[in-house]
Chain A
Amino acid sequence: MSQKSVVLYLHVHQPYRVRPYTVFETSQSHDYFNAPSDLSSIDNERLFQKVADKSYRPMNAKLLELLHTHPDFKLSLSITGTFLEQAEQWAPDVLDGFKQLVATGRVEILAETYYHSLAFYYSQTEFIRQVELHSKKINELFGVTPSVFRGTELAYDNSVAQWAEAAGYSGILAEGWDGILDWRSPGYVYRPVGTESIGLLLKNYHLSDDIAFRFSNRAWSEWPLTADKFTHWLHSTDIDAPLVNLFMDYETFGEHQWSDTGIFDFFGNFISTWCDLTDTPFLTVSDAITRHQSVGELDVPHTVTWADSERDLSAWTGNDMQREALRHLYALEHDVIRTDDPQLIADWRKLQASDHVYYMSTKWLSDGDVHAYFSPYDSPYDAFLYYINVIRDLRWRLMKHHNIGRLHG
């Protein structure tokens, strides 16, 4: 029997996408996220229902079945506030599905920002407010309090870890990127530089991406991936390491990898096979940190994320449009917060989702690989245009509210 344990962590998120919002609507309509009846428009409800059918409903059912069948099966989830709001509004059954998972006592929920934002890098006060909002929401809906933190997009550096420890978290997650690990294995718990006790878990991106990205790729030399093959890899990777951290989007199952690729069957077989082969097949993130001592200190002065080959923030802040959009948005913080207007504050916060600036990324264009570009918009320029029009409208509302100030273009 193997002594290795898998730490499976899935990220659940849907943003409120900005609908095609024109300059002629600024100062007229303040409804940025709900599409008119026009079918060609970006419609968050329709998109949510689509993903619910393809991923949330079947995967929740699959997970619940596996939890019932295998008493040793455990996993961890991060669920954003914007996802929970949409589920409450449009798919209460999906929310119930998650509640059932958590009620088994073997599904841990992580802490993060409510709005899936990169606020840590723009406003600490706003960042902390969003983490608190998220924790409160999780407690209301699931009756649990998160104790392990994950940054949006798995953004991590020493300062995030230091903040998380000070805020009372026992653990934190990051990408197990070669640039920070060097010769080390991601299969151990580490201690971040400048902290005393918080445990750092690092994603094994090779094995995670075998499922998340390569599973259905017929050009991949290992296609088709089977449960036997995959569990064999789990055993043979870093043979002495106690952990294999598989971190990925929840939507991998059914949405990124469609049902007809066999992803659900593979997942079920993998869980069953692994449970039969190992003493402690699965640990939640807290279990992993409690059971395993840190093997050493890890220094990450520069921010790493789980995106792109660069593993930095460039997918969100790499071009001038993205930086300008974020600058304009966070410049409004003080005036937005002091309105005490819940609707206005919520709108401003929904615009902080990292997704918005991701849609403005032009990295794909320069690679000539537009098809890799995942966005509801025709182009990054369209994404920017609608977003800036919304910023204009926010300015207009602030001007009206405070009865002072200027629109600035």
Chain B
Amino acid sequence: MNILMLGWELPPHNSGGLGVACYYLARSLARQGSSIDFVVPYSAHHPDSEFMTIHSATRLDPLQRNGLNAYDSDAAEHTSLDKADVNDLQSMRGVQKRYVQYVEQLLQKVTPDVIHAHDWLTMEAGIHAKRLTNAPLVVHVHATEFDRSGERSGNPIVHEIEQQALLIADRIIAVSAITKAIIVQQYNIPADKVEVVHNAIDAEQLSNHTYDLRTYQYLELLRSEGYTVAATITRFTIQKGLTHFMRAAARACEKYDKLVFLLAGDGEQRDELIQLAAEYGIADKVFFTGFVRGKQWRDAYSVADIFVMSSVSEPFGLTALEAAHHDSALIISKQSGVGEVLDSIFRYDFWDTDRLADQMIAIATSPSLSTTLRRNVAREYTRLSWDDVAQKCIAVYQASRIGVAV
């Protein structure tokens, strides 16, 4: 099967999980005999990608593209594609228009059996490609504008693009049942048009590094004194629910004081969170690392006894699997999609701070609970496989082609 895959990034030029997911999905599809043309909006070398043909829609280098910030839709100007200036590659809309034009040209050379577009960034290109080729369009939703904007309403242009593409798409893939529910409820899409295909994790995706005890030496000392480290590694945005986490931390300390909290990352809520910790009187128990990468990032997983994903809305949440790999016990909000593929975790509603506190204390005070959770979740994340994801996608392609002349 010939697949035209429309993406925004691929490793190592990715700024988040979208590129990683696209890479491993494409690789497994290729292994199962598919031929893939993958379009990205920048020019760069992609190592270990011989299994597909990568097409660059612009001459931008990846860093310039990153400057457009794919994960913050606020940065997208409120411009419709018609009015966007194709020569203005400083703006998201300009790049997107160029991307669409590139795909139109590409379709004079390649004939896809199916068009697979990832997230709002490439949805317009997907719609154009469908019109030109009459090939079925599969839209893969890794996150919606509702997830990105947290409790705010979001960018109306982005919402409009999503709405249109979800209507025109022949089939929709959602990365979790949570995301499917948003697509059905917020975009009024019939449920039977949306297939849930959870992400996976590949062993080689996981960082196999040697933990350096010195990175978080102070926390390690506390651990040796019997403290338990509850950590989260994330962007500090409303979507991540960290103010609730902070409240739970304070509640937990009322009952059990050998707990410390590691908040690794950075973002717009940083100052608010620091202030909250002080207000709750637990400032000495909360550790803010600032933005972490490389060794500091990897070691943050290793120092954590408990990994908390406190998201208000998380389509999937790959970091939880990374934490499972690093032998942490997981507590995941019911609003996070990754919880759908794991059994051996604690779940709570993101606003239920007493519940989260209770769960952290239980793990901290019961070695058998902690051991059982960690041992069992390790077995569960290793069951996930990109080959299974690819198989499910192929089934979706086949369903999308029913009724289409082939």
Taking Cβ atoms with an 8 Å cutoff, the residues of A that contact B are 22-24, 26, 319-321, 323-324, 362, 365-366, 368, 370, 378-379, 381-382, 384-385, 388-389, 409
Query: Of A321, A365, A378, A389, which one neighbours B358 at CB under 8 angstroms?
Result: A389
**Pair B368/A23 contact, Cβ less than 8 Å:** no
Question: Interface segment, B69-77, B314-322, B339-347, B396-404?
Answer: B339-347
Query: Bound complex: CA of A26 vs CA of B255, how far in Å?
Result: 10
Contact A321 B372 (CB under 8 A): yes
Please, which residues of chain A bring their CB within 8 A of the CB of B355?
A: 22
Closest to A24 in B: B354
Residues of A within 8 A of B376 (CB): 362, 365-366
Q: Would A321 and B357 be within 8 Å (CB), given that A362-B376, A379-B343, A381-B373 are in contact?
A: no
For A378, list chain B residues within 8 Å (CB). 347
Q: Is B366 at the interface (CB under 8 A from chain A)?
A: yes
Whether the pair B343, A320 counts as a contact (CB closer than 8 A) is no
**Mask of B275-299 contacts with A, CB within 8 angstroms, 1/0:** 0000000000000000000000000
Which B residues are closer than 8 A to A by beta carbons? Answer: 251, 254-256, 343-347, 354-355, 357-359, 361-362, 365-369, 371-373, 376, 379-380, 383
In the A-B complex, list the 9 residue pairs whose CB atoms are closest, starting with the nearest.
A320-B368, A324-B368, A385-B362, A23-B358, A365-B343, A321-B368, A409-B365, A22-B358, A23-B361
Is the beta-carbon distance between B366 and A23 smaller than 8 angstroms? no
* Cβ–Cβ contact B346 & A362, under 8 A: no
**Does B372 lie within 8 Å of A23, measured CB to CB?**
no
- Please indicate the chain A residues that have their CB under 8 angstroms from the CB of B343 in the complex: 365, 370, 379
**11 further interface pairs, Cβ-Cβ under 8 Å (given A368-B383, A385-B358):** A22-B355, A23-B255, A26-B255, A320-B372, A324-B366, A324-B368, A370-B343, A379-B346, A381-B344, A381-B362, A409-B365
Instruction: List, in ascending order, chain B residues with CB within 8 A of A385's CB.
Output: 346, 358-359, 362, 369
- Residue from A323, A389, A409 within 8 A of B368 (CB atoms): A323
Shortest Cβ distance from residue B200 to the other chain A in the assembled complex, whole angstroms: 16
Which of B359, B366, B379 has the most chain A CB atoms inside 10 A of its CB?
B366
The reply to whether A365 and B369 contact each other, CB–CB distance below 8 Å, is no
A252, B383: Cα distance in complex, Å: 35
Q: Count of A-B contacts with CB under 8 A?
A: 72
Q: Which residues of A contact B254 (CB under 8 A)?
A: 24
Give the shortest distance, in Å, between A175 (CB) and chain B (any CB). 27
Q: Which residue of B347, B361, B383 has the most chain A CB atoms within 10 A of its CB atom?
A: B361
- Chain A residue numbers with a CB within 8 Å of B358 are 22-24, 385, 389
Chain A residues lying within 8 Å of B361, measured Cβ to Cβ, are: 23
**Assembled-state Cα–Cα distance A319/B372 (Å):** 8
- In this complex, the member of A23, A319, A321 whose beta carbon has the largest number of chain B beta carbons within 10 angstroms is A23
User: Distance in Å from the Cβ of B342 to the closest Cβ of chain A?
Assistant: 10
Nearest opposing residue in chain A for B360, CB measure = A23
Establish whether residues A24 and B369, one from each chain, have CB atoms under 8 Å apart when the complex forms.
no
| A23–B369 CB distance below 8 A | no
A selection of 13 A-B contacts at a CB cut-off of 8 Å is A22-B354, A22-B355, A22-B358, A319-B368, A320-B368, A320-B369, A320-B371, A321-B368, A321-B369, A323-B368, A368-B383, A379-B343, A382-B346
Complex partner residue of B255 from A24, A323, A379, CB under 8 angstroms: A24
Q: Collect the chain A residues with CB atoms within 8 Å of residue B379's CB.
A: 366
Known: A23-B255, A24-B354, A389-B358. A321 touches B366 (CB 8 A): yes
Task: Tell me which residues across on chain A come within 8 A of B369, comparing CB atoms.
Answer: 320-321, 324, 381, 384-385, 388
Contacts of A324 in B (CB 8 A): 366-369
Query: Contacts of B347 on A, CB cut-off 8 Å?
Result: 378-379
B381 to chain A, nearest CB (A): 13
When A381-B373, A389-B358 are in contact, do A362 and B344 touch as well, CB less than 8 Å?
Answer: yes
The answer to whether A365 touches B354, judged by C-beta atoms less than 8 angstroms apart, is no
Q: How far is the CA of A253 from the CA of B250 in the complex (A)?
A: 49
Q: How many angstroms from the CA of A394 to the CA of B279 in the assembled complex?
A: 33
CB distance from B380 to the nearest CB of A (A): 8
Give every chain A residue within 8 A of B362 (Cβ-Cβ): 23, 381, 384-385, 388-389
- Contact A362 B372, beta carbon cutoff 8 Å: yes
Tell me, rounded to whole Å, the shortest Cβ–Cβ distance linking B379 to chain A: 7
Q: How far is B356's CA from A385's CA once the two chains are assembled, in angstroms?
A: 11
Contact B373 A23, beta carbon cutoff 8 Å: no
Query: Which residues of B lie under 8 Å from residue A323 when comparing CB positions?
Result: 368
Q: How far is the CA of A385 from the CA of B358 in the complex (A)?
A: 8
Separation of A389 and B361 alpha carbons in the complex (Å): 10
CA distance A370 to B340 in the complex (A): 12
For residue B368, give the distance in angstroms from its CB to the closest CB of chain A.
3
**Is there an interface contact between B346 and A381, defined as CB atoms closer than 8 Å?**
yes
**A24 surroundings in chain B (CB, below 8 A):** 251, 254-255, 354, 357-358
CA distance A382 to B256 in the complex (A): 19
**Docked pose: A69 CA to B290 CA in angstroms:** 80
A319 to B344, CA, bound (A): 13
Q: Which A residues lie within 8 Å of B368 (CB)?
A: 319-321, 323-324
Q: In the assembled complex, which residues on chain A have CB atoms less than 8 Å from the CB atom of B354?
A: 22, 24
Min Cβ gap B335→A in Å is: 15
A319–B367 Cα distance when bound, in Å, is 12
**Known contacts A23-B255, A321-B372: does B346 contact A384 (CB below 8 Å)?**
no
Bound complex: CA of A388 vs CA of B368, how far in Å?
11
Contacts of B256 in A (CB 8 A): 23
- Residue among B345, B362, B371, B383 facing the most chain A CB atoms (10 A cut-off): B362
Bound form: Cα–Cα A323–B345 in Å? 19
Q: Give CA–CA (A143, B357) in the complex, Å.
A: 50
CA gap between A277 and B276 in the complex, in Å: 79
Q: Give the complex CA separation of A22 and B256 in angstroms.
A: 13
Instruction: Tell me the complex Cα distance, A22–B345, Å.
Output: 18
- In Å, the complex CA distance between A275 and B255 comes to 63
Contact among A319, A382, A388 with B366 in the assembled complex (CB-CB below 8 Å): A388
Name which of B255, B256, B357, B371 has the most chain A CB atoms within 10 A of its CB.
B255
Q: Which chain B residues lie closer than 8 Å to A388 at the CB level?
A: 362, 365-366, 369
Using Cβ atoms and an 8 Å threshold, which residues of chain A touch B373?
A: 381
- Given the complex of chains A and B, what is the CA–CA distance between A319 and B373 in angstroms? 11
Query: Chain B: which residue is nearest A22 at the CB level?
Result: B358
Q: A368–B383 Cα gap in the complex (Å)?
A: 10
Residues of B within 8 A of A409 (CB): 365
Residues on B with C-beta less than 8 A from A382 are: 346
